Amino acid sequence: MGLDDRMGKRGIVAIVAAVVLLAGAAGGVWWRHGTQERQADRQSRAAVDAFAAAWQGRSFERAHLAFTGTTETAVAADFRKATTGLGDGPVTVRVGAFTRRGDRASADLAVTWTLAGAVPWSYTVPLRVARAAGGAWAVQPPAGGEAGSFWHPALRNGDTLTATRTQGRRGDLLDHDGAPLMPLGKVYPVQLDPSRATPDVASTLEHIVGEPAGSLVAKLKAAKDAQSRAPIPVITYRQSDFDAHRSALDALAGVVYPAREQPLARTRSFGQPLLGSFGPVTAEVVTRSDGRYAAGDLAGLSGLQGQYDSVLAGTSGVTVTSSGNPGRPLFEKAPQDGADVQTTLEPAVQAAAEKALQRTGTVPSALVAVDVTSGDVVAAANSPALGFDRAITGRYPPGSSFKVATSYALLTRGKVTPSTVVDCPKTVVVDGMTVKNYEGEELGSPTFAEDFAHSCNTAFVRLASALDDNALAAAGKALGIGAGWEQTLGVAGAFAGQVPVNTGKTDKAAASIGQGRDLVSPTALAVMAGSVARGSFIPPVLATAPGAHQDRTPEPLDPAAVSTLRDLMGQVVQQGTGTVLRGTPGGAVHGKTGTAEFGTKNPPETHAWFVGYQGDLAFAVLVEQGRSGGTVAAPVAKAFLTDLAGG
């Protein structure tokens, strides 16, 4: 090999080595550049993610974000100012399309606010970040620069967002003929303005509205101490009540009464507590509503207004506006009108029932009336009107009024006829338990018809001993007591009554005269009376929401037993314990008195009952702590029927 050959080979090797070195150097530069790019991607995306997370968490103070031209504190304050009007529902912020070019990156943020009523509002807003001096990535001013806003593309700097709930037409509670029971009427919510009212004003207002001395003064002090500017509710007046107090209220600085409309019955007490109330929701109601209600909403709060509020109110809508352009909504969801709820109440019958109960004064009492032909409840009255709904949900021993069911059991099982002689001694002993008649009566040896008319306990106890343990429960159910209609009446908490299967001689003896474990509501006994008058049991109905369906197929009763019962109930009025109803306008009355013992006093306290029917109207009257059915409850029934007859 010559020198030239050796030199050529060395040159080739050198060239190859140089190429390798150059390639290695280029590769190192490429690798370092790729690493820097990936790092820039991660850092810029992290800034975007952090902004989205801070928005979703509603907190920018500790997000550790850098901003160009502003500060984290200023952004946090601007966020609160701009978005507080949207409420405190959840907000989700998701990062969508993300791009980076050099020292700048951008992303679309998909924002969804959950507004009051669980209504979602979604939109997309752009976000830009850039690498600042020192290498950190900073959030850039919003679109529009100093005039723009991070929080919505259409929002300008300093603007605020407000979500306003909207309501459609509220449905009505309709009476039997389809007319509103509680049409819209004007009311005046009297309130104290804590920013203007003084303790002297609050004290004077207490006297005007009948609040306990010091109560409003204390509420005003608490509001001022908390620096609250929210009005303090005091009382809501109807137009007539407001007119009577207006001059006195006008003289008080810091007392306000913004008028509004709401469902109102014909009087403050009409149909109460059954129909229920309407007004501002409480904080507790808002918390339990799972987003349905928000602070400031008006809704049905009790009775049928509360039970059917979701039906009557429909679905709330919502409108979002900006303070910069309030006439052009950024978002709208239209409300859905509510639907009417049909009831079977007849206002004239309801009014007569309430008027009759005024005879009892402040004593708790109830009167329920049922249309015999249809089985519909046409009146359910309570007194005092603002107590619980004892007419439908009350639970009371029926006393001797249950002897209607006991007689049905005896008649259908062939244990007695109206002419059967059944002794009526003062007392009878059953397995060590002494049963006595009301006021120690003793009738000797009357017929069963006379025992029924004069409500002889001892005769019924002796007869019931021949019945099987299930007989009284079956008879009660056949007539409607404990027959399961509480599920279809349409009123929450309705009590259809209970007559348990007997468990022994004393249990059966007590049950046969409506004591022991027997319990009923006034509605249950009105249903029983209607069953006798009709000759069949029909599940009663009072309220029906749209789309609801009840099986109301009549269940026939034993015709012979029913015919006898009607005669027996007629004799109660003609010559027995219910003679106060003899000659009542409107036609012959058939009924049964009841005096039900309760409590542990000796002698026991008693509730007074009268149940019966006249023509096509069955009814039950309860007067708590009444001396006897014939002397206390029967006169209420007579006043009720007389009023209906126009007498």
Report the greatest alpha carbon distance in the chain: 159
pTM of the full structure: 0.83
> 459, exposed or middle or buried, with CB in 10 Å at 0-12, 13-18, 19+?
buried
Please check whether residues 101 and 11 belong to one and the same domain: yes
Residue 150, in any domain of the structure: yes
Residue 244, in any domain of the structure: yes
**Among candidate residues 263, 279, 304, the one where a domain is terminated:** 263
**Among candidate residues 263, 287, 304, the one where a domain is terminated:** 263
CB atoms within 10 A of CB 225: 9
Residue 324, in any domain of the structure: no
pLDDT along the chain (647 residues), means of 10: 54 52 49 76 96 96 89 94 94 96 96 91 96 90 84 94 92 97 96 96 96 96 94 94 96 96 94 95 84 83 96 93 95 95 98 96 96 98 89 98 98 97 96 90 94 97 97 98 96 98 97 97 98 98 89 96 98 97 97 94 92 98 95 98 92
Q: State the Cα–Cα distance between residues 570 and 418, nearest whole angstrom.
A: 13
Residue 268, in any domain of the structure: no
pLDDT the model gives residue 288: 84
Task: Classify strands 255-256 and 232-238 as parallel, antiparallel or unpaired.
Answer: unpaired
Please check whether residues 52 and 123 belong to one and the same domain: yes
Please check whether residues 9 and 139 belong to one and the same domain: yes
Please check whether residues 117 and 200 belong to one and the same domain: no
Please check whether residues 129 and 236 belong to one and the same domain: no
pLDDT the model gives residue 23: 47
Can you tell me which residue has the tokens 């989700």?
92
Please check whether residues 411 and 515 belong to one and the same domain: yes
CB 313 within 8 A of CB 170: yes
Whether residue 554 has a cis bond before it, omega within 30° of 0: no
Domain count, the chain: 3
- Buried (b) or exposed (e) across 374-407, using 16+ Cβ within 10 A? bbbbbbbbbbebeeebbbbbbebbbbbbbbbbbb
Residue 295, in any domain of the structure: no
**Among candidate residues 103, 125, 159, the one where a domain is terminated:** 159
Residue 59, in any domain of the structure: yes
Please check whether residues 250 and 105 belong to one and the same domain: no
Please check whether residues 104 and 63 belong to one and the same domain: yes
Please check whether residues 640 and 586 belong to one and the same domain: yes
Determine the structural domain holding residue 494 and report its residue range. 347-644
State both tokens at 630.
């014939």
Q: State the Cα–Cα distance between residues 463 and 459, nearest whole angstrom.
A: 6
Residue 315, in any domain of the structure: no
Angle between helices 471-479 and 522-534 (to 10 degrees): 80
Please check whether residues 79 and 151 belong to one and the same domain: yes
Q: Please report, for the domain that includes residue 59, its CATH number.
A: 3.10.450.50
Please check whether residues 387 and 420 belong to one and the same domain: yes
Residue 335, in any domain of the structure: no
Please check whether residues 599 and 471 belong to one and the same domain: yes
